[in-house]
Structure 1
Amino acid sequence: MQDHVDHYNFWQKHVERRIMRSSHVIWSKKPAGDWAEGYPIGNGRLGGMILGDPLRERIALNHDRLWRNFWTFQEHRTAADLPELRRLCTAGKWDEAHDLLIRKIPVSGQALYLNPFVPACDLGVYPYHGDDAITEYQRRLDLDAAVVEVSYVAGGVRYRREYFSSWPAGVLVIRLSASQAGRVRGEVTLSRLLDPDCDVTGSSRLGEVVLEGAFEEGVRFATVVRVVQRGGRLTGGRREYQPPAGPLPPKDLNGLQFIFREQDYPHDPVGVSTCFDCADEALLLVAMATEDEAAGDLVGWCRDKLHSTPTDFDQLRAEHVLDHQRLYRRVSLNLSPQPQTVTTEELIEEARDSGDTSPALFEQMFDMGRYLALASGRPPAPDQPAKAPINLQGIWNQDRRPAWDCDYHLDLNLQMCYWPLSMANLEELLPPVADWLTSLLPQAQRAAMDLFGCRGALWSGVCDLRHVGNVDDLCFGWTGAGAWVAQILWHHWEYSGDRAFLRDKLYPVLKEIGQFYEDYLIEDQRGRLAPVPSASPEMGIKGRKRYSALSSPSAMDLELI
């Protein structure tokens, strides 16, 4: 028992020293007020957002390949209209050109563009503390270890939670422990937000919770949690799935409509659950699967994964930290020798109030950027399905129709995710982008021929994991999406000198883009090759009868070409 207490005293002093001295720790003295304030964990495939509520923890779970599939690439048959469209644009008759365009191309916001990236489910942890007050609360994300820790005191006992998403093990790992033996008690749940398009079922038994989901178009997924206790006992919880309280939301029949999560997380356990009582500590192992991992028995695949995972937390943590630091420690930025003695929230408030960003905050932003890239963009092991590129929110999302569907915006956002990575010596994260572009190549070739009657390939300004996205009147004239993504892949080649990457992945994409422009460019009045029509994406031009983006050759297109 004394060894147990000594371990906690040592740990507390060690953490306090790291908080004081390290810019690699993001920390707070309070739980997250909402999902966006949570601390993310991820291994490139499985993501979780840690909110850190001491009484009712909610961990929003995501899988990088869990996307809806109700929309498929659609032809617009505008190639036949291109000569007339070019004539009107060349003559400066922009309103007439726009009228011709919207006969077949939807007005912005009045269409489905692609399929959204959607959440898997919520993992709930409900510790039992009776009426004890919560004091000495801390929540921290150690960027160098890729571990989130939550600690607090209740009833004279210090409780501690540790969370990480392990790349070597391929699972999420959570440990619940306390400074006194036999004081870890609570309930573990799996549930999912109410969604009229998704049928959810679940079951539980001692030490295991299972949730399965099936969308109306056939997309399926599963999550399984294994609970391993030391001391005490496991006991049954809610064996049949009980959805969260409240009416089922209406069907989404309004095209591009963001549907953000409004319901609070339940104060009482819902979904399916299992319990643990009087344990010294409890270990939670979480596996998730889509049909990309296992076309048939998704739950069986998850169970196999969990039962092949060691249950020695210290071993799992040590392997995870070593694996993460092998990449994270390739680069460091040191701007301030002074120890960090304030929370991250105070650093941000100080910058907001003073208008001056401290060196410590610059360091944390630089380190956080690298951490997020690794957590959301790291390629999987060779025997796993292909990595989905980093989307608009990394791999974290709690909403059934998130902002811009958590898609791939190729008119800036995807590029921003990958621009700094070669400079930060994280070149392993770039090849999945080339693989993804190549996977969409047949659709991009169809799009080039359908929209403009051109050979080669055309990626639209927005795409999802499996589809070249729809176009609207604001982005129809912008053809530079593929060229801009290819530019970051070219930068990767310049940094890496990987001739196999150049030959097998990059050159085939560049060839298709070049072939498209060989057909698409026409001579202007001065004999120069120019893209007509053109556009600067999402940038309307004033002085017309309606919001329109069609233009003479835009600086953006010319720069990319």
Structure 2
Amino acid sequence: MIKKLLLIGLVFSMWTSATAQQQDLKLWYEQPATIWTDALPVGNGRLGGMVFGRPQEELIHLNEETLWSGGPANLNPNPQAPDYLPQIREALFKEDYKTAAELCRKLQGLYTQSYMPLGDLIIKHNFTSEPTAYYRDLDIATATALTRFTVNGTEYTREILASAPDQIMVIRLRSSKKGQLTFSASTKSQLRFKNVAAGKQELVMHGEAPSHVEPSYVNSPNPVVYDAADKCKGMRYELRLKAKHKDGKVSVNEAGLHVNGATEVVLYISMATSFNGFDTCPDKDGKDESALAQAYLNKAFAKSFDAIKKAHIADYQQFFNRVTFSLNHNPAVNKPTLERLMRYTDGADDPALESLYFQYGRYLLISSSREGGIPANLQGIWNPHLRAPWSSNFTTNINAQMNYWPAEMANLSEMHRPFLELIGQTAKTGRATAKNFYNANGWAVHHNSDIWATSNPVGNLGDGDPMWANWSLGSPWLSQHLWEHYSFTGDKAFLKNTAYPLMKEAALFCLDWLVEDKNGYLVTAPSSSPENMFITETGQKGIISVATTMDMSIIWDLFTNLMEASEVLGTDEDFRNMIAEKRDKLYPLQIGKKGNLQEWFKDWEDEDPQHRHVSHLFGLHPGRQISPIHTPEFAQAARKTLERRGDEGTGWSIAWKINFWARLHDGNHAYKLIRNLLHLTGLEGTEYAKGGGSYSNLFCAHPPFQIDGNFGGIAGMGEMMLQSHAGFLHLLPAMPDTWKDGKITGLRARGGVEVDMEWKDNKLLWVSFKSTAGTTTTTKVRYGDKTIDLQLKPGQVKKLKGNLEG
């Protein structure tokens, strides 16, 4: 083991390690990042940076959340599409699945656009000897990153943060000896760009995003297009870099900003784009990105680094500090994060690493999704690629939703709101999609969306594989988030004015999408189970059928939520009754001959039995149709399905399975998958090189990096400690044996309840409930086999013993 660790250390660095005390809420390392997934993320929701911590030539990848290719979506790219829906349904009811799949290509529209990298900041020194005493960290308690090292007896530090109050990124560089800071700071981009000097201390990079970028999985001779004649010209962007110094000299030219002989320098980095809304051309009708970037810079530059940092920490901690979490008393481990991950992957226990991972996920959500902004995409806000994996878009058949599973439970409801805003925007384009593609009412969203709220079936008019491109039930799944936001917050105004109208329109689409089969059941046709393939009883492989379990479960979920919303609001009784009748006619859940929950309309075999998607368990999670308490037979079938699927998979798939096993109240199996999710991967030239799991910076590996695995993983950890979807608050429903002692404060439950609790020797010691709703909350609480009634007045706190007695 020692030899292996020494070998890894040689792979990563030649620097002498510093003695550093590990703290519960820090990721820290004894070597700089060599690849992007070693770098440490900072963000304020809008601005993102990946900090490599390189002494000689620091590299910081920069992103701005609105910098995407393209412009407003074409709402009717395939006018002939509605002609094919009747033909597809005719083929399906004849069980001609091959013809149906081929015809589905006729229903496809255009691909989404891609999230763009803004550029790189390079800080270059001319050190004459190797650094020693190297250390870097990310403190998620304060949302700051630090790099520290010594050269020729001088200690150098770099501290970086992305401030939400000041909408600026700042870097403070210091030397322990006077006048030892001599460096140049330059910027570049993979996009069109130009650097110019502005005054004596400011560098400006301005440029333009492409008007179109093909997805990374599409082979194209010209995948990145500027100035496309048939499209809106790409959006503009600007970066402004300015230095504030106490001594030394600063000069600037097109090559960069140059510092000579300083002791302390603060770099202010401002970024903005011309994005002006999902339905507005960012070129001819875009915002003035230069004026925006200049205004952010001018306001922040008038403040000291310490003042910006103080406001930044106060703003960040108002969200982060709502939840505390310790496992087995978070025993201190005085080892760098990389070494801890190695040991953990090799089987060592590290409960403090698990609680750190939970809080790191909350850090990432706060840092990539702020009110008034754009939701976290497949990579959050951190993307270095010109053609990002899967366009770094909003993949709405699981991944975009997974990003927000922990938002309400982990007490970050405000971070949910950008996603709720996007849902409203996709409803606007989705109305056109429903009408133009299917002659249907309501709104429809398919497999992918983007900053332009694209909602059509993707595939470039027939190039996409129908197993994913034609999946059509994005609007009812997205609508679940509208209901969940109300369920956790009790915000009736939101339910009445925003959630209910959008949910109802999604139901109108579903009502038009459903057709009656020969047995009188309502089914979806065409229907897929993303992104899997079936084998019929005759050996025919297929991807499109009718009434997949996922489809029927999503619609059941929407109809159920809509009925409850109608009752809460005391409105729309006739519509509620009609929806109830339709729900009763939905094709029901089926248990197959192997005891598993059927994925398809018939009890067919899977082409890939260990497929990463387990879409047919939607009713178990994130839905509430299946429960060990209310529907034990279907819960057992879900368990059988998971056993057949196996515990392997991509990072986000493992994360989803943690939630499934938690909902089945099997904490030990859920914990096994947590260990799989924290399996170290991505270290080239080592035994930790491949597979799903976690990179050295704790980003989740699909591979490649997808942030939904981080968010889905911590949602699953929350589900292990508290569940509230089944009509009651369930305390510690899926606790693993290894989490013997623990304490968590600030978890949120449906009904507007905040929960603190502590357990010892796997038994609940005490629990505290606080009402966060504006009205009296009445619910049931369950722990083990005991259930009690709980009533809380607005703002009231009740603390009970572990036996649920006062």
What corresponds to 2:207 in structure 1?
213
Tell me, in whole angstroms, the C-alpha distance in 2 between the residues paired with 1:292 and 1:360.
42
1:244 aligned residue:
none
**Cα separation, partners in 2 of 1:420 and 1:463, compared to 1, 3 Å:** same
Following superposition, the deviation at residue 546 of structure 1 comes to 8.9
| Greater relative contact order, per chain length (Cα 8 Å cut-off, separation 6+) | 1
CA–CA separation in structure 2 for the residues paired with 1:459 and 1:180: 59
Query: Counterpart of 2:722?
Result: none
Q: Which of these residues, 369, 382, 398, is aligned with residue 396 of structure 1?
A: 382
Equivalent pair of 2:527/2:546 in contact (CA under 8 Å): yes
Verify the 8 A CA contact 1:162 1:175 in the aligned structure 2. yes
Amino acid at match of 2:236: R
Q: Which of residues 69, 89, 93 in structure 2 aligns to 1:90?
A: 93
CA contact (8 A) 2:82 2:107 kept: no
Structure 1 contact 71–112 (Cα < 8 Å) conserved: no
CA gap 1:497/1:465 in 2 versus in 1, 3 angstroms = same
Which of residues 480, 504, 529 is equivalent to 2:473? 480
CA distance in 2, matches of 1:297, 1:488: 33
The equivalent position to 1:75 in structure 2, one of 74, 77, 89, is: 77
Determine whether 1:305 maps to 2:296: yes
Q: Deviations over 1:40-79 (max 9, x none)?
A: 0000001111011111111111111111016833433322
Letter of the 1:539 partner, please give it: N
- Whether contact under 8 Å (1:71, 1:115) holds in the other structure is no
**1:30: which partner in 2?**
31
Q: Give the counterpart of 1:179 among 162, 165, 176.
A: 176
Q: Counterpart of 2:156 in 1: which secondary structure?
A: strand
The count of residues paired between Structure 1 and Structure 2 equals 496
Deviation at 1:519, TM superposition (A): 1.2
Inter-CA distance 204–545: structure 2 relative to 1 (3 Å threshold): farther
**Which ranges of structure 1 fall in alignment gaps of 5 or more residues?**
1-14, 241-271, 380-385
Aligned to 1:268: none
TM-superposed CA distance for 1:23, in Å, is 1.7
Work out the CA distance in 2 between the residues paired with 1:336 and 1:25.
18
Structure 1 CA distance for aligned equivalents of residues 507 and 287 of structure 2? 41
Gaps of 5+ in 2: 1-17, 210-225, 227-232, 277-284, 459-463, 556-806
Distance 1:416 1:484 in 2: 11
Structure 1 counterpart of 2:273, which letter? T
Which amino acid in structure 2 is aligned with residue 344 of structure 1? Answer: T
1:256 match: none
Task: Give the drift of 1:442.
Answer: 2.8
Counterpart selection for 1:230 from 240, 243, 246: 246
1:333 aligns with 2:297: no
- Within-5 A mapping of 1:9-48: 19-20=21-22, 22-48=23-49
Distance 1:304 1:476, change over 3 A: closer
Query: Which residue identity lines up with residue 60 of structure 1 in the other structure?
Result: H
What one-letter code is carried by the residue in structure 2 that aligns with 1:468? Answer: S
Q: Tell me, in whole angstroms, the C-alpha distance in 2 between the residues paired with 1:410 and 1:545.
A: 31
Mapped contact 1:231–1:280 kept (Cα < 8 A): yes
CA shift in 2, pair 1:359/1:126, >3 Å: same
TM-score, L = length of structure 1: 0.84
Partner of 1:382: none
> Aligned residue for 1:56?
57
CA-CA distance at 1:505 after TM superposition: 2.1
Deviations 1:296-333 (A, max 9, x none): 64223322221211331111111111111111010011
Say whether the 8 Å CA contact 2:107–2:437 is kept in structure 1: no
Structure 1 residues 462-471 or 321-330, which shifts more? 462-471
For 2:242 and 2:406, the matched residues in 1 are separated by 38
- Aligned pair partner of 2:360 in 327, 346, 368: 368
Q: Which amino acid aligns with 2:96?
A: K
SS in 2 for 1:475: helix
Q: Structure 2: how far apart are the matches of 1:546 and 1:66? A: 44
- Superposition map of 1:77-156 within 5 A: 77-102=80-105, 104-105=106-107, 113-129=111-127, 131-156=128-153
Letter in 1 for 2:388: P
Displacement of 1:223 in angstroms is 0.4
CA shift, 1:199, in A, is 4.7
Letter in 2 for 1:486: S
Structure 1 residues 423, 507: closer, same or farther in 2, change over 3 A?
A: same
Residue 427 (structure 1) shift:
0.5
- Structure 1 residues 547 and 58, CA, compared in 2 at 3 Å: closer, same or farther? farther
Tell me which residue corresponds to 1:410.
Answer: 396
Contact 1:205–1:274 (CA<8 Å) still a contact in 2? no
Matched, 1:438 2:424: yes
**Alignment match, 1:255:** none
Aligned AA (2:341): I
The structure-2 alpha-carbon separation of the partners of 1:95 and 1:321, relative to structure 1 and needing over 3 Å to count, comes to same
**What one-letter code is carried by the residue in structure 1 that aligns with 2:77?**
E
CA distance in 1, matches of 2:507, 2:522: 13
**Residue 377 of structure 1, aligned match among 369, 389, 404:** 369
Q: Letter of the aligned partner of 2:161 in structure 1?
A: F
RMSD: 2.1
Secondary structure of 1:286's counterpart equals: strand
Q: TM-score, normalised by structure 2?
A: 0.59
Change beyond 3 A, Cα 1:523–1:353: same
Residue 389 and residue 488 in structure 1: after superposition, are their counterparts in 2 closer, same or farther (change >3 A)?
A: same
The residue that corresponds to 2:415 in the other structure is: 429
Quote the Cα distance in structure 2 between the aligned partners of 1:88 and 1:152. 68
Aligned equivalents of 1:186 and 1:476: distance in 2?
Answer: 50
Among candidates 275, 279, 282, match of residue 292 of structure 1: 275
Distance 2:110 2:473 in 1: 21
Given that 2:202 and 2:241 are in contact with CA atoms closer than 8 Å, whether structure 1 keeps it comes out as: yes
CA distance in 2, matches of 1:280, 1:72: 51
Q: Is the 8 A contact 1:116 1:401 kept in 2?
A: yes
Task: Name the counterpart of 2:262.
Answer: 279
Give the match for residue 322 of structure 1: 314
Give the secondary structure class of the aligned counterpart of 1:421.
Answer: helix
The question of 1:511 aligning with 2:497 is answered no
